[in-house]
Amino acid sequence: MTVQGYDPRTGQPVGDPVESTSDDGVDAVCRAAAEAAGPWSARSAAERATMLNRVADALDDAADALIAVADTETALGRPRLTTELKRTTNQLRLFGEVLHEGSYVEATIDSPNPDIVPPRPDLRRMLQPLGPVGVFSASNFPFAFSVAGGDTASALAAGCPVVVKAHPSHPGTSQDTADVVANALRAAGAADGVFGIVHGVEAGKRLVRHPSIKAVGFTGSFSGGRALFELANSRPEPIPFYGELGSINPCVVLPDAAARRAGEIAAGYAQSLTMGVGQFCTNPGLLFAPPSLVDTLAEAVRGSSGGPMLAERIRDAYQSGVDSLGSSDLVELVATGAQPDGGWSATPRLFRVDADTFVANLEKLTEECFGPAGIVVTYDEPETLLDVLGRLNGTLTGSVHAEPIEHDLAGRVAERLRRIAGRLIYNAWPTGVAVAWAMHHGGPWPATTNPLHTSVGATSIRRWLIPVSYQSWPQELLPPELRDSNPLGIPRRRDGVLGSR
């Protein structure tokens, strides 16, 4: 069995097929990861930071070649891929900063107190790596959510070896990236087992079931994610599964914003909807707006254009989704973007529906249609809007366009959205996910399989760490993070007070 890459612009094969990893191959990679787990976790945070920076440098050095291959396999274009690779290497470097700063281990020291109930001994808690991690790459970010993407960077930073399951729509990019990462780690002195890669559907399932793997990160479709989530939970030893499964990203335009900034809002919406052929988990699939805005929105979408999608399967699913909407009498097609040339291309579409019909057909109309298709849900009264928002399921983001004069309503909308959305956006669009300390890229089911954690930003490292408490432990046997002298100078909590003692 092999995995073959294709050029979405032509539908023709590109590059040599990559061998699917055999059962024995998966076992060998996972065993190597298990053997590397102790030594990798025993390295200091500073050493791991240096290694991540070396990987980032090596990827930057290989940028031209990696981008060329990725462009033939994804048709995302060199400008976008150049930015995406930069984002990827900046992400690796951010985790280097997280490791140096040191508070990610949550070092906590309580002095003994025999007089309370129950009595308290000397207790010292910190987070430590949970073991080898499996990472499933996404199709739509061949660098930033793929082989050397956020899951890999955060897991390596945490002290966990990583085994990546490559995405089948960019096998060449995946293997080339993996070679760069592995060589950089080897040159910096890391054991081979710290990083590995497998290809093929069966290899992915075996990876999730392998006893050496202690957690899994996944970005992809709802159906694929739920199936692997269930596989992870049904193991003899279930493991944490962090899946980002897709999202409808409701955006709300309040009446005054619609009246005063119709053109600007419509242009921003059309750009966010069609950017990257709509292939973002933060694509604004649902827009809630007064009826008066629909014509302006339609005009903007008519001025947009589509392009080739990442894979034939993705284009077919998109086409089937818009066909189903188009032939339904629930919604009205109000705009079609420019028809692109050949290959696996998709054309932008805008549909409209009124709030009552939307609520009556909620399940059908909130299915994610991955690609440049949007639904405008028109509302007349604020109370109708608030009622509809209270019925939505979990999503990665929720956006509000408002004028200061309607902040009272904006606050009520935010109160609805914060219960279902991981990130609330004001007068902007959900596409574009910063890599930062304060980023949360997550949300309640079905946006993710675990609402407590993020897959982007500094705190994504928390997914791969488990607490350990040391009770009455001698100083010389404690990890440096927990010794009285605080040799690493990291932020710690002592007797309940945060500081650097």
CA 247 to chain centroid, in Å, comes to: 11
Stretch that binds its own copies, among 67-75, 278-286, 378-386, 408-416 (CB under 8 A): 408-416
* 281 contacts 455 by C-beta, under 8 angstroms: no
Q: Is 66 in the site for its own copies (CB under 8 A)?
A: no
Rounded Cα gap, residues 162 and 134, in angstroms:
6
Q: Which stretch binds its own copies (CB under 8 A): 148-156, 172-180, 305-313, 470-478?
A: 470-478
Return d(Cα 446, Cα 448) in angstroms, integer.
Answer: 5
What string marks each residue from 322 to 361 as x (binds its own copies by CB under 8 A) or -? ----------------------------------------
Task: Tell me if 133 sits within 8 A of 151, measured CB to CB.
Answer: yes
Nearest to its own copies of 187, 428 (CB atom): 428
Taking the complex as a whole, how short is the minimal distance between the CB of residue 349 and its own copies, in angstroms?
27
User: Which one from 281, 368, 369, 481 is the annotated catalytic residue?
Assistant: 281
Considering only 237, 327, 341, 485, the residue that binds its own copies (CB under 8 A) is 237
Question: Measured from the CB atom, is 318 or 464 closer to its own copies?
Answer: 464
Pull the structure tokens for residue 242. Answer: 């962090």
Interface segment toward its own copies; rule CB under 8 A; list 10-18, 117-125, 193-201, 261-269: 117-125
Q: Quote the CA–CA distance of 32 and 23 in Å, as a whole number.
A: 14
Cβ closest to its own copies, residue 46 vs residue 187: 46
Q: How far is the CB of 72 from its own copies (least distance, A)?
A: 23
Q: Does 470 bind its own copies (CB under 8 A)?
A: yes
Note if 281 is an active site residue.
yes
**Cβ–Cβ < 8 Å for 239, 231:** no
93 contributes a contact to its own copies by CB under 8 A? no
CA–CA distance, 7 with 231 (Å, rounded to integer): 32
**Cβ atoms within 10 Å of 478's Cβ, excluding its own:** 15
# chain residues binding its own copies, by CB under 8 A: 91
Binds its own copies by CB under 8 A, chosen from 11, 321, 326, 491:
491
Residues 196-225: x where in contact with its own copies by CB under 8 A, - otherwise, as a string: ------------------x-----------
Cα dihedral 316, 322, 324, 327, rounded to 10, equals: -130
Among residues 9, 48, 54, 124, the one that binds its own copies under rule CB under 8 A: 124
AA identity, residue 372: P
- Whether the CA torsion 290, 296, 300, 303 is positive or negative: it is positive
Catalytic residue of the set 30, 73, 160, 244 = 244
Which CB, 120 or 483, lies closer to its own copies?
120
User: Of 65-73, 193-201, 244-252, 433-441, which part binds its own copies (CB under 8 A)?
Assistant: 433-441
Which has the closest alpha carbon to 51: 167, 162, 141?
162
- 3-state percent breakdown (helix, strand, coil) of the chain, nearest 5: 45, 20, 35
Q: Residues 6 or more apart from 193 whose CB is under 8 A from it? A: 29, 31, 32, 33, 34, 35, 36, 37, 161
Is position 31 an interface residue for its own copies (rule: CB under 8 A)? no
Buried/exposed 327-365: b ≥16 CB within 10 Å, e otherwise: eeeebebbbbbeebeebbbbbbbbbbbbbeebeeeeeeb
The token pair at 150 is 């956020």
3-class secondary structure, 341: coil
Task: Give the span between the Cα atoms of 350 and 327, in whole angstroms.
Answer: 14
| Measured distance CA(466)–CA(131) in Å, rounded | 10
Q: Which of 39, 263, 432, 480 binds its own copies (CB under 8 A)?
A: 432
DSSP 457: S
Under rule CB under 8 A, residue 364 binds its own copies: no
Residue type, 99: L
465 touches its own copies by CB under 8 A: yes
403 is annotated as an active-site residue: no
Q: Select from 14, 28, 68, 123 the one that contacts its own copies (CB under 8 A).
A: 123
Decide if residue 480 touches its own copies (CB under 8 A): no
Between residue 95 and residue 114, which ones bind its own copies under the rule CB under 8 A? 97, 101, 103, 106, 108-110
Among 194, 203, 239, 258, binds its own copies (CB under 8 A): 239
Contact in structure between 147 and 178 (CB atoms under 8 Å): yes
Does 252 interact with its own copies (rule: CB under 8 A)? no
Shortest reach from residue 97's CB to its own copies, in Å: 7
Closest distance of CB 252 from its own copies, Å: 13
Comparing CB distances to its own copies, the nearer of 297 and 410 is: 410
CA–CA separation, 14 and 387 (whole Å): 50
Query: Between 20 and 460, whose beta carbon lies closer to its own copies?
Result: 460
Please state the closest distance from residue 428 (CB atom) to its own copies, in A. 6
- The yes or no reply on residue 476 touching its own copies (CB under 8 A) is yes
Of 10, 50, 183, 450, the residue at the interface with its own copies (CB under 8 A) is 450
Q: Give the span between the Cα atoms of 244 and 364, in whole angstroms.
A: 21
Please identify every residue annotated as catalytic. 244, 281
